[in-house]
Amino acid sequence: MADLAEIRTRAQGCTACPLNETRTQVVFGRGNPAASIVLVGEGPGRDEDREGLPFVGAAGQLLDKILAAVGLGEQDVFITNTVLCRPPGNRVPLPAEMEACRVHREAILGAMDPPIVVLLGATALKAVFGPKAGITAMRGERIERDGRAYYPTFHPAALLRDPSRKRPVWHDFRRIVADYHVIQAASAQGDATGSSSPVPGGGESR
């Protein structure tokens, strides 16, 4: 299986959808390539397109604050997006663009194999669970699939527009961190006994 560096190189040369014509650069991800938590946003905005890193604008600053508030730092997470190139004018990515980028997202998840994937907002949720999946209905759930736990929650930009959404997101991240600690403890024990660590609370969804 390709490692993250190879996947990044492939993505940087990607011309599979028209976003390659308008991007400044491919925005692959930031954080720890060996992290157990992967966060998936929507797509790079103007600041991200310029800097080449995801979530560096206002929404990113809020995301970093949320992560810090629950005790997570860059070493605990890897942050990427549903599409790796900026949609012009920061519009929502088109279904065909999301589909074209699926190969990169799945390669990242396949290479990292994180037990926890946080879906930030409707676009990331739909990219993984299909166009009918709704963020308002599904946020707060933990969905087990392919040995991973997916946690849909509101996008930080939605919190900037509507601060009443901060409380549910805070609740979601506290649960994510609690599950993360369970996984870390199980993996520390597995290291000691040679067994592997399961996703916590298997089968439970809320």
* Distance of alpha carbon 92 from alpha carbon 62, whole angstroms: 20
The closest of 156, 141, 188, 205 to 48, measured between CA atoms, is 156
> Which is closer to ligand URA, CB of 150 or CB of 200?
150
Which residue of 7, 37, 59, 62 would you call a contact of ligand URA, by CB under 6 A?
Answer: 59
Please identify, among the stretches 31-39, 48-56, 133-141, 163-171, the one whose residues bind ligand URA according to the rule CB under 6 A.
Answer: 48-56
The closest of 181, 179, 185, 184 to 200, measured between CA atoms, is 179
Task: Find the residue with minimal CB distance to ligand URA.
Answer: 41
Secondary structure (H, E, C), 28-60: CCEECCCCCEEEEECCCCHHHHHHCCCCCCHHH
> Which is closer to ligand URA, CB of 74 or CB of 204?
74
Is residue 31 a contact residue for ligand URA (CB under 6 A)?
no
41 has which bridge partners?
Answer: 81
Which two tokens mark 99? 């589909």
Q: Give the x/- contact pattern for ligand URA in 154-193, rule: CB under 6 A.
A: ---x------------------------------------
Is residue 60 a contact residue for ligand URA (CB under 6 A)?
yes
